[in-house]
Amino acid sequence: METEWAGRHSDKDALRKDVWTQLKQQTVSRHDPFGHIPNFVGAEAAAERLATLPIWQQAQVIKCNPDASQTAVRSLALQHGKRLYMAVPRLTKSRCFVEITQQEVQHHQISYDTAATMQNALIYGRYVNFEEMQPIDLVVVGCVAVTRNGGRTGKGAGFADLELAMLQTFGLIQATTPIVTTVHSLQIVENTRLPMQPHDWALDWIITPEETIPTNATYPKPNGLNWDAIQPDQYQKIPILRSLRAFQNQASAN
């Protein structure tokens, strides 16, 4: 089965297909996982395990992906009084993040679980640009496959890497900002199966429902946006990329 973003890296395409097939055959994905960050059985337990880590407890500001597999993570962030930033799916807005806080959830008199769904976060959250955002203490990303040494891949669209590169460009994350994911154990693959590229951001922690894995990743952190790695369709469909390129070109001209 070909997915929307297949064809950019054949080895990663094959790996994602294998992982999606395993999840479907073992009936541990709540919906058909193909083409998606899998909404795995046990996602809530993995979120609870993540919340026991000092990096979570010390974080005041958390950035999280919008996928259903991390709804429980977003809910706990709100319950625990964190300032939550969630990327707008596919980065289709010029203000490509929404900010959600415990105070806003309580103001609207809705449950944290309700506010944490992607759809409701877009309704009740405040769309923000990078200048309005606070520095981020912890990043949570969605993954299709991961390795114990910190390798990761998403659906193949590259949104997570773009988000992190843009946040880094605006000084909102640092090289030391921890990057974590919650996944099913079937999403963990051998290190050699997941080729990492220079623009790929590695994981510092992997959390499953049963296990907490520090990766001790040694992959170099990317340094800002790699314009050469940005696909033409990404540049056309993501407004903030065009704005950033124009801004950088103007700055260079001056």
**159-169 vs 239-253: helix crossing angle, rounded to 10:** 40
Q: Tell me the pLDDT of the chain averaged across its residues.
A: 91
Model pLDDT for residues 64-109, shown as the tens digit of each residue: 999 999 999 999 999 999 999 999 988 888 888 999 999 999 999 9
- Mean predicted confidence (pLDDT) in 30-44: 96
Average of pLDDT values for 244-252?
Answer: 71
Give the confidence band of 236 by pLDDT, cuts at 50, 70, 90.
confident
d(CA 105, CA 221): 35
Give the pLDDT score at 240: 81
Least reliable range by pLDDT among 27-41, 157-171, 225-239:
225-239
**What pLDDT is stored for residue 9 in this prediction?**
63
User: What pLDDT was estimated at residue 148?
Assistant: 98
For 210-227, what is each residue's pLDDT tens digit? 999 999 999 998 887 877
Q: How far apart are CA 118 and CA 71, in angstroms?
A: 8
Stronger pLDDT, 139 or 5, i.e. the higher one: 139
As a whole number of angstroms, the distance between CA 205 and CA 55 comes to 10
Distance between CA 36 and CA 155 in Å, rounded?
6
Residue 199 pLDDT? 83
Average pLDDT, integer, range 160-186: 94
Q: Is the pLDDT of residue 6 over 80?
A: no
**Does the structure show a pLDDT above 90 at 140?**
yes
Write down the pLDDT at residue 7: 47
pLDDT of residue 93: 83
- In the block, which residue shows the tokens 């877009």? 122
* pLDDT more than 70, % of the chain: 94
pLDDT at position 5 is: 46
CB-CB contact of 214 with 146 (8 Å): no
The predicted pLDDT at position 8 comes to 60
pLDDT value for 42: 98
| Integer angstrom CA distances of residue 221 from 110, 150, 167, 171 | 38, 12, 13, 14
Domains parsed from the chain with CATH numbers: 10-214 (3.40.50.10420)
Q: Tell me how far apart the alpha carbons of residues 175 and 177 are, in angstroms, rounded to a whole number.
A: 6
| pLDDT at residue 241 is higher than 70 | yes
Span of 65-79, 166-180, 190-204, 225-239 with lowest mean pLDDT: 225-239
